[in-house]
Structure 1
Amino acid sequence: MAAAQDPDDELLGRIAQGDPAAVRALMGRKLTRINGLAVRMLGDAAEAEDVTQEVFLRAWRQAPKWTPGAARFDTWLHRVALNLCYDRLRRRREIPTEAPPEQTDEGPAPDRGLEAADVGGRVAAAMARLPDRQREAIVLCHYQELGNIEAAGLMGVSVEALESLLSRGRRALRLALADMR
């Protein structure tokens, strides 16, 4: 039985030929998910936007060299995004800062959504305290909605190892957020 063709292969071929409509179509399909992955991994929207731009720049550069059927483009794109996120996380550890940068609140007005913002902030903080591999597993499976097999493949671990990471990550999140029940 022949493997199903990756729906992105045709777009990549058109991108390689310089078709701007194909670039827009690919961005329309993938931008939100890749940016969401970067935001959840990095916890910083501006930094995630930089990562997302770099991911798509690499995809554009890779398009002429892409071999259809060799790998799933979506898997490759996620792996590039995760690698760029880890590069940035490593750099953060290497450069200590005295105070966090001031950030503007682009959320709802102060009189609306305070509880939702508090819950979201608490979850984001709890996610940030997880070990990198547990956070990656949770982001891929719960936020990116990848199946265990695909997530394990992206992470380069067995499905059993992924499930262990998920279990430990969920347990740590339950403990960190226990008072919210």
Structure 2
Amino acid sequence: MTQSNTDPAAEAALLKAYAAGDTDAARSLATAYTPLVFAHAFRMLNDRAEAEDVAQDAMLRLWRQAPGWDAQGGASVRTWLYRVTANLCIDRLRKTRPDGLPEELEVADDRPGVEAQMQAKARHMALEDALMQLPDRQRQAVVLRHIEGLGNTEIAQIMDIGPRAVESLTARGKRALSAILSGQRRDLGYIDDTVETSL
């Protein structure tokens, strides 16, 4: 079972096996989905500890659903987890809004030159900061489409809206990101007229 091509029947079988006490099934599900859930939560919250809490909560909710999981219910496990994760993140964001620049972010391991590393880090931090300035639904749509790489149909299921609404949210979110980042173009090393946001 891969993340990009999930099989609802296989997922349901794993959940049923987990509910019956199969630890290998639980390990397979956790290995497949915990990193995905954590990554999505981190992109929504920009806070590692909060993202870890959300990932744990989302997976616990999946374990609770396991005995009654219905493969014919429509949503794949991945879609269901994205929806639960997004809702948990939005709940946290509504309680306490972060402000200011994000905390120190990890630098990639492939070790380009120091100057390139610093510029890439500055761009990443600027993008993360800009994402946090978007309204919740726009940020969710942009992250799911352009960072997680999901299609509009699956995003529509996750967000419980129509595909056209996904397109609208994504387009508005990208325009807002471009406007937020446009004043930083020179500082971030962009030399053309289009702010490249890595989206």
What TM-score, normalized to structure 2? 0.78
Structure with greater contact order relative to length (CA < 8 Å, sep ≥ 6): 1
Deviations 1:144-166 (A, max 9, x none): 21110110121111111111111
In structure 2, the gaps of 5 or more residues are 1-6, 191-199
- The offset of 1:76, in angstroms, is 1.3
The answer to whether 1:159 aligns with 2:163 is: yes
Deviations 1:41-76 (A, max 9, x none): 001011101100111111111101212221322221
What TM-score, normalized to structure 1? 0.86
Q: Runs of 4+ in structure 1 displaced over 3 angstroms?
A: 102-109
Partner amino acid, structure 1, of 2:122: D
**Percent of aligned pairs with the same amino acid:** 41
Q: RMSD in angstroms over aligned alpha carbons?
A: 2.3
The equivalent residue for 1:37 is 40
The equivalent residue for 1:54 is 57
Partner amino acid, structure 2, of 1:16: A
8 Å CA contact 2:142, 2:173 repeated in 1: yes
Separation in 1, partners of 2:129, 2:106? 18
Partner amino acid, structure 2, of 1:82: A
Residues 28 and 176 of structure 1: CA distance in aligned 2, closer, same or farther (over 3 Å)? same
> 3-state DSSP class of the match of 1:69?
helix
Separation in 2, partners of 1:152, 1:54? 23
1:134-173 pair list within 5 angstroms: 134-173=138-177
Deviations 1:103-134 (A, max 9, x none): 5665469x842211111100000100011111
8 Å CA contact 2:105, 2:121 repeated in 1: no
8 Å CA contact 1:37, 1:143 repeated in 2: no
- The offset of 1:177, in angstroms, is 2.0
The equivalent residue for 2:131 is 127
Partner amino acid, structure 2, of 1:28: T
Separation in 2, partners of 1:41, 1:105? 15
8 Å CA contact 1:6, 1:73 repeated in 2: no
Q: How many residues align?
A: 172
Residues 65 and 123 of structure 1: CA distance in aligned 2, closer, same or farther (over 3 Å)? same
Separation in 1, partners of 2:44, 2:86? 8
